[in-house]
Copies of this chain bind each other. A is one copy, B any other.
Amino acid sequence: MAIRFRAGSRLPVGADADCPTTCPTRQTLGRLADRWTVALLESLAGGGKRFGELRAACAGVSEKMLTQTLRSLERDGLVDRRVLPSVPPGVEYDLTDLGRSLLEPLNAIRAWGREHQDDVERARLSYDGR
């Protein structure tokens, strides 16, 4: 994706010159930076999962924290919670279309991190060595 710039300016198109905490960019970042959100989105990208499967996919998550994060993702319309017509009744979690659309910017972040993590590490070593 190319960065477009405003005519006569080097500021990217659509940049929030004064970006408050409530702006969509920072709200989205806040959501993604949440401790378990990335792990859950990536796990659910592979298809619907039961609570136990998600817990196994998020090594170290507590039951309470997983419940809270899933509720929060459900509240934001990113995850769908479905009661299965099984005996005994089960619950399955899956990404909504909205949740699935969030995989795209998440992939852009991941690609940057993978490509440039070594550059960041080198810069830190150099800075700390001054």
Pick the residue among B10, B111, B123 that contacts A46 (CB under 8 A).
B10
Contact yes or no, B116 A14, CB < 8 A: no
Q: How large is the interface on A (under 10, 10 to 19, 20 to 34, 35 or more residues)?
A: 35 or more
Question: Which B residues lie within 8 Å of A76 (CB)?
Answer: 120, 123-124
Interface centre among A35, A110, A111 (most CB of B within 10 A): A110
Tell me, yes or no, whether A27 is within 8 Å of chain B by CB.
yes
CA distance A127 to B108 in the complex (A): 29
Q: How far is the CA of A33 from the CA of B16 in the complex (A)?
A: 15
Inter-chain CA distance A77–B125, complex, in Å, is 10
Q: Beyond A76-B120, A127-B75, is A107–B45 a contact (Cβ under 8 Å)?
A: no
Q: Does A90 contact B (CB under 8 A)?
A: no
Q: Is the CB of B33 within 8 A of A127?
A: no
Q: Which residues of A contact B (CB under 8 A)?
A: 1, 3, 9-12, 14-19, 21, 23-30, 32-33, 35, 38-39, 42-43, 45-47, 57, 59, 74-78, 98, 101-114, 116-117, 119-120, 122-124, 126-128
